[in-house]
């Protein structure tokens, strides 16, 4: 597993050289910085922040919340605090909790309207990326339209993105798991040609994801805080529905941009190749 893990770190470091060319750091420095993060090899029982836990299998690596922001920065994304990271053989996913309150799950989803709202955030997001010297990203459309499962309390969708300088699309598959005091956002970074298998692997792992006692959706009690938006706003970006009413739409879009669109398309081939490296380097 240690040899496999080194290949993951090497691939991630190479990706950062392409994704953030403007940053003043050599590939060797990036590789060194990525290797210094607090990686935990699976299988292990890991804490997702202070709200939930998950069991990670073999051939995965887990990064606790304290290092998640640095990981995002090194992979050419807008850095955000509060992210745990799980890396598979040719995919990775972030986990972040939003304490917005209890989200009612009785809203009917309009995929076309939601896509229009998401695209309206492309320019504010890219403005911020340009300031940071990061490649731009645009929304192409749905890879998987948003849908909700009341049994698992999971809202899921796949968004197809186009990165600057790349002819291949990148797909973010997103899962929002509803809890009593908010929701856990799980964003899978994958390539279209491996998405089905990657989603399958992630969903298998998510079976072990569980909010801790007192944080489960079914433990809602009268008097608990209720979110001022529903499922559709979660797809667009969490609290976006409130921002429209309060006039902070543009600033909120910039803050939420990293949550919508992680990684640039030029990195996809490297992650897709990790599966082969695992097979080649396995004892």
Q: Render pLDDT for 154-165 as a digit per residue (tens, 0 to 9).
A: 999 988 888 887
Q: Which two tokens stand for residue 266?
A: 């030029």
Region 50-64 average pLDDT = 96
How many separate domains does the chain show?
1
Percent of the chain residues past pLDDT 70, beyond the cut: 74
Residue 46 lies in domain: 1-283
Q: Compute the distance between CA of residue 157 and CA of residue 256 in angstroms, rounded to an integer.
A: 17
Beta-strand runs (E) in the chain:
40-41, 44-48, 52-56, 61-63, 84-87, 92-98, 137-149, 154-163, 169-178, 183-190, 210-211
Check residue 23 and give its pLDDT: 52
Residue 123 binned pLDDT confidence (cut-offs 50, 70, 90): confident
Sign of CA dihedral 180, 117, 202, 74: negative
Residue 48 binned pLDDT confidence (cut-offs 50, 70, 90): very high
Check residue 67 and give its pLDDT: 92
Check residue 24 and give its pLDDT: 63
Q: Among 154, 194, 175, 188, which residue's Cα sits nearest to residue 261?
A: 188
Check residue 282 and give its pLDDT: 33
Contact 194, 276 (CB under 8 A): no
């Amino acid at each position: 597993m240690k040899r496999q893990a080194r290949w993951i770190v090497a691939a991630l470091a190479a990706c950062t050289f392409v994704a953030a060319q403007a940053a003043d750091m050599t590939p060797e420095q990036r590789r060194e910085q990525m290797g210094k993060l607090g990686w935990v090899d699976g299988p292990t029982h890991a804490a997702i922040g202070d709200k939930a836990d998950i069991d990670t299998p073999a051939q995965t690596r887990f990064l606790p919340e304290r290092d998640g922001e640095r990981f995002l920065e090194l992979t050419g994304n807008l850095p955000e605090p509060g992210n745990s990271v799980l890396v598979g053989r040719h995919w990775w996913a972030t986990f972040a909790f939003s304490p917005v309150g209890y989200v009612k799950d009785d809203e009917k989803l309009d995929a076309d309207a939601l896509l229009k709202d998401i695209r309206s955030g492309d320019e504010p997001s890219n403005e911020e990326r340009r300031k940071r010297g990061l490649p731009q990203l645009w929304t192409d459309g749905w890879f998987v339209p948003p849908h909700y499962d009341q049994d698992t309390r999971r809202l899921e969708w796949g968004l197809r993105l186009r990165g600057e300088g790349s002819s291949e699309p990148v797909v973010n598959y997103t899962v929002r798991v509803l809890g009593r005091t908010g929701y856990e956002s799980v964003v899978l970074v994958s390539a279209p040609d491996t998405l089905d298998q990657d989603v399958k692997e992630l969903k298998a792992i998510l079976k072990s994801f569980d909010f801790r006692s007192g944080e489960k959706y079914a433990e809602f009690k009268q008097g608990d805080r209720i979110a001022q938006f529903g499922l559709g706003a979660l797809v667009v970006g969490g609290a976006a529905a409130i921002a429209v009413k309060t006039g902070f739409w543009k600033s909120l879009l910039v803050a939420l941009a990293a949550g919508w669109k992680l990684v640039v398309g030029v990195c996809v081939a490297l992650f897709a190749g990790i599966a082969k490296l695992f097979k080649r380097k396995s004892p």
